[in-house]
Amino acid sequence: MSARHVTVPAFAKINLGLRILYKRPDNYHELRTVFQTISLQDSLALSFEPSVETVVRIDGTPEIADNLVDRAARAVLSHLGRNGTVHCVLKKRIPSGAGLGGGSSDAAAVLLALPFLMGEAVPMTTLSALGAKLGSDVPFFLYGGTALGLGRGEELYPLPDFPAQNGLLVTPPVHSSTPEAYKALSAGLTSFSLQNKLDGFQQEVWSGVPAADGNDFESVVFDRHPELRGIKDSLLGSGASFSAMSGSGSSVFGFFSSAGGAKLAAAELGDYPAHLFELVSRADYRRVWAEALGISGAIQNQTIGMEWPPQNPHE
């Protein structure tokens, strides 16, 4: 049998709010967040061919150690009890270590696309379980759009689409350590702050309006990297209606009333890398995937969407 191949997107995410509540007995932190997919994306060309032994080859830009793409491919093959040669060509556009979930999104793309190539139907509950073992953000990227994340972020609930925005994402060459950020935050977690955070976060979710101080990581990361606070202040000073750091950093984003306003704000930032972006709804997420997989006719309409996870109609 000849190899089957497909090229699919792997979208980045931002956090519209992120509250760290407490450290759990399993050493993870309990959190509350609102995930949102954005138009910035990696590209993943994937092929599969049955073979006697499992081989996973990854050509990437740049090469990534302990690549989640490799682990995701092997997880799918192991679950299905199949061997095969999987070849991935990964074109990275999402900056690594910026709080944008690029590696997790790449892994989710493999979890969705590889069963499709193999002609296998894997239920979403199984894909989510496989994804959660790879990383806390991976399950979200199996769905896209706007979603509430609980627990480590792997417990997901769909939310109404966040209103369309003209976004500007700034990705400075700053490394923000997630373990160090969690450690610094843990010292200030109290029962009093917990209840306040829960009350505030609930109001944000119900109103659909993120708080100006809605990312708890900013309080410790900005102290260590004051240039990130400067970027947020610059975006707000340039007319952003809202600005925040994504995840534990180091990317900072802002929403503007027009694309022109976002471009002017980018010019004010000097040499910092900046990307214009749009929000990607769950329906658009599925539409783009349907087009990539060549099954656009499976979409009933923009609201209902296609069968999910996508199934190969030729199998």
SS3 category, 173: coil
Structure token digits, residue 85 = 């040669």
CA-CA distance, 279 to 162, in Å (whole number)? 8
Position 255 scores a pLDDT of: 97
Q: Give residues with Cβ within 8 angstroms of 214, minimum separation 6.
A: 16, 17, 18, 19, 201, 204, 244
CATH assignment of the domain containing 187: 3.30.70.890
Residue 43 vs residue 201, higher pLDDT: 43
Give a yes or no: residue 290 inside a domain.
no
Contact 245, 221 (CB under 8 A): yes
The fraction of the chain above a pLDDT of 90, given in percent, is 74
The neighbouring-strand residues paired with 168 are: 254, 276
Domain count, the chain: 2
Does one domain contain both 138 and 212? no
> Residue 1 CB: number of other CB atoms within 10 A?
8
Position 62 scores a pLDDT of: 62
Q: What pLDDT, in 10s, does the model give residues 156-165?
A: 999 999 999 9
CA-CA distance, 66 to 71, in Å (whole number)? 8
Q: Is 197 designated active site? A: no
Among the listed residues 210, 171, 156, 231, the one whose alpha carbon sits nearest the alpha carbon of residue 19: 210
Q: What pLDDT, in 10s, does the model give residues 173-218?
A: 998 888 899 988 887 776 667 888 888 888 888 988 888 888 999 9
CA-CA distance, 58 to 39, in Å (whole number)? 24
Catalytic residue, chosen from 13, 92, 197, 232, is: 13
Catalytic residue, chosen from 42, 106, 137, 216, is: 137
Position 304 scores a pLDDT of: 41
Does one domain contain both 134 and 178? no
Residue ranges making up the domain that contains 179: 166-277
Position 64 scores a pLDDT of: 60
SS3 category, 166: strand
The neighbouring-strand residues paired with 14 are: 36
Does one domain contain both 106 and 131? yes
Q: Is the pLDDT of residue 245 over 50?
A: yes
Does one domain contain both 150 and 177? no
Position 289 scores a pLDDT of: 95
For the chain, where are the E strands, in sequence order?
Answer: 4-23, 29-50, 55-61, 84-91, 146-150, 155-158, 166-170, 242-245, 252-256, 274-277
Q: Is 199 designated active site? A: no
> Residue 104 CB: number of other CB atoms within 10 A?
24
Q: What pLDDT, in 10s, does the model give residues 54-63?
A: 999 999 766 5
Q: What pLDDT, in 10s, does the model give residues 249-296?
A: 999 999 999 999 999 999 999 889 999 999 999 999 999 999 999 987
Q: Is the pLDDT of residue 19 over 90?
A: yes
Does one domain contain both 140 and 273? no
Q: Is the pLDDT of residue 302 over 50?
A: no
- Average pLDDT across the chain, whole number: 91
Does one domain contain both 154 and 136? yes
